[in-house]
Structure 1
């Protein structure tokens, strides 16, 4: 699928076609098109043509949809900035991009740190709010960047400092083609902006939300855009739009499960895709038993422009019972293999580093390059992939290796625990030790020592966390998965205040 040609198809839509629903209001195509064309004209007049890098504060709002179309359709590069971070941190992120063109809402132009960052870059900047595009800073034109790059997107940064990843047009187009092949039929709307709306419940500055938005635009489908996920807003959207397939991160699925929504309210949904964070197989079973809806786990990363493996409905019905914990099989055109530390391929069932070869993951045009991930994994005889942890997360405790995900899964089996996360903490004698934090179910009570005792029944002695912190809520990032860096900071603060450990 050619991305530019797919976006061009939107111009065949009727002016009054419903395009974006936001906070209960539908924005017509004429409104989105008008803003898109204003943005394209403003960027062109400022010297930002094909290959130009444009930093965008990408919040979940209709203006962002127009921005995305204008930047990608014009052959430019979208450099994402998260509106979820404090202004000073956002300004530092902007300064690090080196861009010469900036788009942001008024509230950021009111922030001195932000305007100073724009001035420091010598950038031209615009305020984008509602139907208005107003220039707020005049800078110098920039040399064209790499026209092959469509998006520069930050990784989630949940396990370390975020990295800005360049996603090429070829990668996005390969990912769109793979998704279509995986679905078994074309997802394009027969009439532009017709059919059921795609519900986008998570931040589009994250690859999961961005992918949902790009897929909808490329297939000329209307979009129901939530500013943020809440069970109430998502429930209302499902009742209104009656979607067949939806995407939700694991914490959102658990929130829906705990909200005890009526089964008939979700009856239109044939399946839920999930994969921005590890998915608890027990939760999949509970959701399927309660609603009859399969959770189709997918595996991917920002670097891959989305997912490269996952479950199909057919596989779920036939194999889930015997493949608990798998993230599915490789998508069409994707190859997976497991290698040891020297790069030698390992046999079926052996855990090692996961490598991926696919057009959407490779810098080579034919997709033959093998990309080494940070994930530890194994494959079974039928090609089902199991993620066993992350190579950069492994805790070495006195010479013994501890996988944080293994410990977290054991904690989640306790009836009081809603979710858990495990990190390594320095130890003078052992080098590192595992420390856990848990978030409890509503109304539940349990102590950290009781949870450590629970772990002793499921884990080896060296895997049992030295401390379990019981928190009101685990810190989460844009995709609702646990932010490990924030968690480490929180644990460090608690370690400095011994009285806060009482009961843990």
Structure 2
């Protein structure tokens, strides 16, 4: 099997005049991608990163980030992803937790806070602007580190099931397998519709999108973030037979009331990364006559492991409506009783466990409640650990609670998931204030949280209470907490 580095070198040898990436209405050819990739590789070698030293990478959804990613993978480097959609203080804190000889991100993300931590850790910095890369003034070289002994990997940020967000390693060979599973040869058909990429480059869905498209020579239409207007424009212009988007997009498309003829080329709509409200799925399918194919996966599995395929949907129709499908090749599924820990039978609800051959032969215990029916179809019932699924991001209430308790006005806090038709759930925060302290503005609390957490963790609903609901053991009563958000806030 070809290595990921070899696959990247293959794409960097594509005819330079071929179109590669469309961004904000303009097409960039492969020559532009290749030139930036080679420039990044040269600057990495000049920065003290060594031949295969790891890189901290905070990509924005821009062509320069895709080209830089290909360059790092072609060099066989480990890439330590952090999210760019954070405050400068949060980006600096993420860099502080990691170590690498060099960091790559957009020019504007090298704020004073970020530059200070890079200097303190003797790290170099490469800034991306347009389709240019440069060593940032004052941060041109970093202290040498020994090349890592481990095989190269892409470390993707995940919430995990306990504690703060952490890096989860995806070996290069796993990503190479994702590329090769799509097809052994580069795509050279100029009439094949491009791939629409709207997932963040730095998460597992973004990496999977890159593997399925750019690394196979497929044209990419890159969005900085999903929007109904841009998605519709893509579908109308290129008339693809299959489409997809994050689960939150389904409700957004319905709310926009797009004409059915605009979507008439689509035979299927694929979505995953988060649960989809069955009522929203039903409304979409009835309005547009397009079946929605659900899937299930996670960073810890190296991508999707269960999917509803067009063949399965054609065979079973609505009989398995709401299912995320059957296990993919060589994937194993089972459910355990949450009380007895015994393996559950068909149709019995419990905690899902999975063997993902991409990641090894061990069973991975999830925090998801699921049912596997007698025909092998998986139905996802929700979370067992209280995690909030906000679009494609898993948010732990405890993480938000800890950060809010650092605010001087807050005495106690409880955070729960509140149903949202667009992104499945959003955080809601209920707060007790310290005696004699003035009630802070919500904007001040949001600004406080942005100093500690990514924007996905900012609550969408706030309640100020005299006392948080407690159970007989004087612990926060979660059902009572949820009830606070069932009615509109008092005026």
With normalisation by structure 2, the TM-score equals: 0.78
Correspondent of 1:491 among 462, 469, 475: 462
What is the Cα deviation at residue 132 of structure 1?
A: 2.5
Correspondent of 1:389 among 382, 404, 410: 382
Q: Aligned residue for 1:100?
A: 101
Q: Aligned residue for 1:378?
A: 371
Q: Is the alpha carbon distance of 1:113 and 1:493 closer, same or farther for their aligned partners in structure 2, counting shifts above 3 Å?
A: farther
Aligned residue runs from structure 1 range 105-504, under 5 A: 105-109=106-110, 111-136=111-136, 137=139, 138-155=141-158, 161-176=164-179, 180=182, 186=183, 188-191=185-188, 195-340=192-337, 344-362=342-360, 368-393=361-386, 437-439=418-420, 485-487=457-459, 490-491=461-462, 493=464, 502-503=489-490
- Give the secondary-structure state (helix, strand or coil) at the position aligned to 1:491: strand
Q: Aligned residue for 2:14?
A: 13
8 Å Cα contact 2:335/2:343 also seen in 1: yes
Post-superposition Cα deviations, 1:420-478, rounded to whole Å, max 9, x if no partner, equal: x998999xxxxx9996635589xxxxxxxxxxxxxxxxxxxxxxxxxxxxx9xxx9xxx
What is the Cα deviation at residue 146 of structure 1?
A: 4.9
8 Å Cα contact 1:21/1:225 also seen in 2: yes
8 Å Cα contact 1:12/1:192 also seen in 2: no
Structure 2 stretches lacking a partner, 5+ long: 402-412, 423-441, 447-453, 469-483
- Give the secondary-structure state (helix, strand or coil) at the position aligned to 1:327: coil
Post-superposition Cα deviations, 1:122-181, rounded to whole Å, max 9, x if no partner, equal: 11111121232221212112112254232111125799632211111232234445x54x
Q: Which whole-Å CA distance do the structure 2 matches of 1:229 and 1:200 have between them?
A: 9
Q: Is the alpha carbon distance of 1:291 and 1:382 closer, same or farther for their aligned partners in structure 2, counting shifts above 3 Å?
A: same
Q: Which whole-Å CA distance do the structure 1 matches of 2:311 and 2:415 have between them?
A: 39
What is the Cα deviation at residue 329 of structure 1?
A: 0.5
Structure 1 stretches lacking a partner, 5+ long: 181-185, 363-367, 395-403, 409-420, 427-431, 442-470, 476-481
Q: Which whole-Å CA distance do the structure 2 matches of 1:307 and 1:6 have between them?
A: 21
Q: Which whole-Å CA distance do the structure 2 matches of 1:340 and 1:151 have between them?
A: 34
Q: Is the alpha carbon distance of 1:485 and 1:224 closer, same or farther for their aligned partners in structure 2, counting shifts above 3 Å?
A: closer
8 Å Cα contact 1:175/1:305 also seen in 2: no
8 Å Cα contact 2:251/2:421 also seen in 1: no
Q: Which whole-Å CA distance do the structure 2 matches of 1:94 and 1:71 have between them?
A: 18
Q: Is the alpha carbon distance of 1:44 and 1:327 closer, same or farther for their aligned partners in structure 2, counting shifts above 3 Å?
A: same
- Give the secondary-structure state (helix, strand or coil) at the position aligned to 1:300: strand
Q: Which whole-Å CA distance do the structure 2 matches of 1:343 and 1:140 have between them?
A: 50
Q: Is the alpha carbon distance of 1:243 and 1:422 closer, same or farther for their aligned partners in structure 2, counting shifts above 3 Å?
A: same
Q: Aligned residue for 2:56?
A: 55
Q: Which whole-Å CA distance do the structure 1 matches of 2:465 and 2:243 have between them?
A: 38
Q: Which whole-Å CA distance do the structure 1 matches of 2:234 and 2:253 have between them?
A: 13
Q: Which whole-Å CA distance do the structure 2 matches of 1:76 and 1:63 have between them?
A: 18
More displaced stretch, 371-380 vs 40-49:
40-49
Q: Aligned residue for 1:418?
A: none
Q: Aligned residue for 2:427?
A: none
